[in-house]
Amino acid sequence: EVSSLFSMVAAWLRSSSYLNPSHHNLPVCFGLSAVDGTDRLCVSERAQCIPSRVLHLRQLPPDVSEQEVLSLALPFGRVSKLITLKTKNQAFLEMASEEAAVTMVNYYTSATPSIRSQPVYIQYSTHRELKTDNMTSQRAQAALQAINAGAVHSGNMTSGGEGRGIAPGQSPVLRIIVENLFYPVTLEVLQQIFSKFGSVLKIITFTRNNQFQALLQFSDTVHAQHAKATLDGQNIYNGCCTLRIDFSKLSALNVKYNNDKSRDFTRADLPSGELEPTAAFAVISINPCRPHSHCMGFWHSPSSGLSMAAVPGSLVSHPRVSLQMAPPVVHSVLLVSNLNPESVTPHCLFILFGVYGDVQRVKILFNKKENALVQMSDATQAQLAMSHLNGQRLHGNVIRVTLSKHPVVQLPRGGAGQEEQALTRDFSGSALHRFKKPGSKNFNNIFPPSATLHLSNIPSSVSEEALKDLFSSNGFAVKAFKFFQKDRKMALMQLASVEEAIEALIILHDHQLDHNQHLRVSFSKSTI
């Protein structure tokens, strides 16, 4: 938590006019007549208090530790001495310089710090220095020396001890991975979140290893540090869409197109280009991301120094609810556009969108057959389908999937012609719904389209060659195949491309393999 505060303070210092105490009206504050907790006014309640290297902290938790107190001060510079008065819930800090003390007071004047969610008040003391000669103070000094040494060793402070947490050699480009992608995360959502920490110049979004990822370039490394320190591990929406953030090895991004996958905010003249499902940018080298075993929000540690909510610009409203963003309010109907009117059918869309939810109705528009409406069971399923299928290729076309303004798909009226009626299908009673059983394992196996397909419900009489022949006879090039070692009813099959895999799933899902068993096909996160 101290390291995250370093980055936040560094960003604040860059834009602050408080570095020179003569440029700021000093706050009203209280001093002490002696180091015994007895308050008296410095001059008067309306008078300005004289800056001092010694700071007085009040309303500390009863069993506060020296480390917790020091965590509030270290981002502003080296702490020379520390005295804690635990029976009075107070403490004194002596900073190495008056400038560091003034900076710290001014910062916390606009952002009240807290320890364990309890507000702490900081002011100048009338003492010009602290005397530390008793055993309690000696223990505090030992803790102080250890923490100061750790801060210098970790690079958070310069060798002179007066640094403000700007770590050297880091990039203004962040690599972002969004885990637990329950709602779609767009380029605009990322820009909205990260621009609170500085000027965002460029964003590139893409899918890699079946994960939604992005590269985001700030105008300044300090802004990138600030954003990473605050947002890494946070949820965009409550309980989902967890951000995992690292510094990229790239020093700058080269954006070719301005569209919904990539954006250069400094170049409004860039063309939109033809959007590919993977990414609209040049081939670049991306540093590997550290592994994460699970997704979780920000937990406030009892030993942490500063509550994140106390930092200006922080989006944290509660220790567990990370970002103040409400999930989008949507209907369950999707508009699918840029379809191939010669190939698309309601059944085709039912099978494809059914990978991400139970499709209720599909309508291909009579006068615009390149457009269709797909009604899912609920808004969550609509969001999942949109986030995974928008920008994918179907029958040679890059399809667009957006939210429709229609709350439901209307069935044709009685006077509609035969062709118009054939373009609208009601699938609400279909036996092919994947998610109709509560607690189904299918809920845990929802993945973006990939070239590798997961095959299941395979009869023991069906061989590897028979399955390969089935796919190749339908025009698909099989690149690899593997039965599951522990369960031969399942297998992985890798095709030549994601587009081929999408079409294979549409054609061969529910294909009858023997008299009572039908093949089940879905996208896999694995590779062979």
How confident is the model at residue 220, as a pLDDT? Answer: 78
* pLDDT reading at 307 higher than 80: no
**Residue bearing the bigger pLDDT, 467 or 305:** 467
* pLDDT reading at 241 higher than 60: yes
Give the rounded percent of residues in the chain with a pLDDT score beyond 70.
72
Q: Which residues pair with 521 in a beta bridge?
A: 455
* pLDDT reading at 132 higher than 70: no
Helix (H) and strand (E) counts in the chain:
11, 25
12 band by pLDDT with thresholds 50, 70 and 90:
low
> 299 and 319 in contact (C-beta within 8 Å)?
yes
How confident is the model at residue 89, as a pLDDT? Answer: 92
DSSP three-state, residue 520: strand
Q: Which of 154, 176, 156, 141 is nearest to 77 (CA)?
A: 156
* pLDDT reading at 487 higher than 50: yes
CA dist., res. 247 & res. 521, Å (int):
38
Q: Look up tokens 């979004």; give the residue.
A: 205
CA dist., res. 190 & res. 205, Å (int):
10
Q: Which of 330, 339, 334, 336 is nearest to 404 (CA)?
A: 334
- CA separation, residue 28 to residues 19, 50, 395 (Å): 18, 9, 71
* Beta-strand relationship, 235-237 and 240-247: antiparallel
How confident is the model at residue 46, as a pLDDT? Answer: 30
* Mean pLDDT within 187-211: 87
Q: What is the pLDDT of residues 70-108, one digit of tens each?
A: 878 876 778 888 888 888 999 998 988 888 888 888 777
Q: Which residues pair with 267 in a beta bridge?
A: none
Element (H, E) at 202: strand 200-208
CA dist., res. 93 & res. 143, Å (int):
13
Question: Tokens in use for 402?
Answer: 């957006």
Instruction: Indicate whether this model's pTM tops 0.75.
Output: no
Exposed, middle or buried: residue 401 (CB in 10 Å: 0-12, 13-18, 19+)?
buried
> 233 and 320 in contact (C-beta within 8 Å)?
no
Domains of the chain: 54-130 (3.30.70.330), 173-264 (3.30.70.330), 333-426 (3.30.70.330), 447-523 (3.30.70.330)
- CA separation, residue 249 to residues 127, 173, 289, 417 (Å): 48, 8, 11, 60
Q: Which residues pair with 156 in a beta bridge?
A: none
* pLDDT reading at 434 higher than 70: yes
Residues 323-336 as b or e (16 or more Cβ within 10 Å = b):
bebebeebbbbbbb
262 band by pLDDT with thresholds 50, 70 and 90:
very high
